[in-house]
Amino acid sequence: MTEFWENAFQEKKMMWGEEPASLAIEIAEIFRQMGFRKVLIPGFGYGRNAIPFYEKGFEVTGIEISSTAITLAYELLGGDIHVFHGSVDDLPFNQEVYDGIFCHALIHLLDSGGRKKLLSDCYRQLRYGGRMVFTAITKDASTYGVGEKLGTDRYKTKDGVNLYFYDQDSIKQEFGEVGLIEATKIDEGGNGKPTTKFWKIVCQK
């Protein structure tokens, strides 16, 4: 996976544009209203979804597998950012506890074991009363069922990306053990790309 994303970022630079996802803007405001200060962003990418959190004064920690993406993040956000270079499979990178966690369009790229570990690791680093928000691709997406089938609801796209598509049952099964309080379907797009059907999945400790 590392080589794929390195190549993707090198070829397409800031492939989703510089504007944050609308959900990142929404969640940053909700976290502010809840009095949160410390936020963890697994799958930091080049930092576009961190922008609303920085703008609202959060202390942001990121984790990103692609060194190219981290370089782009410094270009976009400046030098005063805190991003670990590594895979979310290697969590935790520190013993910090966070008020909020925002993880956009990452968990569905992992296999079953990787998804379970990510949720467990994030939940362990979430303070009591804290909240974590994930987005995950739904079975309503146009790419569902397209490509090589790898397992139940998991497919390899023509670009070589492995995707696991969630429905309500799989959300309850995987997120139910980490404080699931909401699962809502949303549309996300950007940078001239068509919208994609995602789940907004909210958990609280």
What average pLDDT does the segment 100-120 reach?
A: 96
Poorest-pLDDT segment among 69-78, 160-169, 170-179: 69-78
Give the start-to-end residue ranges of the domains of the chain.
Answer: 2-204
pLDDT tens by residue, 140-155? 998 899 999 999 999 9
- Asked if residue 29 has pLDDT above 90, the reply is yes
Q: How far apart are CA 95 and CA 83, in angstroms?
A: 15
Token duo for residue 103: 């993880």
Q: What are the distances in angstroms from CA 96 to CA 8, 121, 140?
A: 31, 12, 36
CATH class of 2-204: alpha beta
- The pTM score is 0.91
